[in-house]
């Protein structure tokens, strides 16, 4: 089974978190689900460089990586991932979608209102937990 090393950005702006929606996919269980933006880490690339590159490619945004947030290990039906998640900031809320079909800037307390990809649910749960509000500080 294929295993992917990926990164995800928890992008913060004006006390809100960026959530992006995947388009149609041949794998129904990830089709049109919300996720934290990011992607695959390339050979000899650091996680921080990968997240900056992916966000620039997918959303035409420049971000600053603030700190490591958490690691998610997830087994989907057809592949598995190790996802390193980072708290990031940006200077504007302007987003240009090149791969996703929708986006929303939401306060932490509203994150659970979206239909998330399974691998992203642990991040949502961590953000919205008892200490979740500290992500915005």
The pLDDT tens digits for 97-107 are 999 999 999 99
| pLDDT reading at 53 higher than 90 | yes
The pLDDT tens digits for 21-33 are 998 777 777 789 9
- Per-domain boundaries in the chain: 2-136
Burial of 131 (0-12, 13-18, 19+ CB in 10 A): exposed
Question: Quick one: average pLDDT of 10-31?
Answer: 88
Give dist(CA 83, CA 75) in Å, integer: 11
Q: What is the average pLDDT score of the chain?
A: 92
Question: Quick one: average pLDDT of 35-44?
Answer: 96
Q: What pLDDT does 137 receive?
A: 53
Q: What pLDDT does 31 receive?
A: 84
In the CATH hierarchy, which fold is given to the domain comprising 2-136? Answer: Nucleoside Triphosphate Pyrophosphohydrolase (3.90.79)
Q: What pLDDT does 26 receive?
A: 76
The pLDDT tens digits for 119-133 are 999 999 999 885 555
- Name the percent of the chain in helix, strand, coil, to the closest 5: 30, 40, 35
| pLDDT reading at 63 higher than 90 | yes
């Amino acid at each position: 089974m294929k295993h992917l090393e990926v990164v995800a950005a928890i992008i913060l702006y004006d006390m809100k978190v960026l959530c992006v929606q995947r388009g149609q996919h041949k794998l129904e269980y990830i089709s049109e689900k919300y996720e934290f933006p990011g992607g695959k880490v390339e050979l000899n690339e650091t996680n921080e460089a990968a997240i900056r590159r992916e966000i620039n490619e997918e959303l035409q945004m420049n971000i600053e990586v603030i700190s490591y947030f958490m690691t998610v290990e997830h087994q989907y039906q057809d592949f598995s991932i190790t996802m390193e998640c980072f708290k990031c900031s940006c200077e504007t809320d302007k987003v240009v979608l090149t791969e996703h079909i929708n986006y929303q800037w939401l306060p932490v307390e509203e994150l659970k209102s979206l239909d998330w990809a399974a691998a992203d649910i642990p991040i949502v749960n961590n953000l919205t937990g008892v200490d979740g509000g500290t992500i915005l500080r």
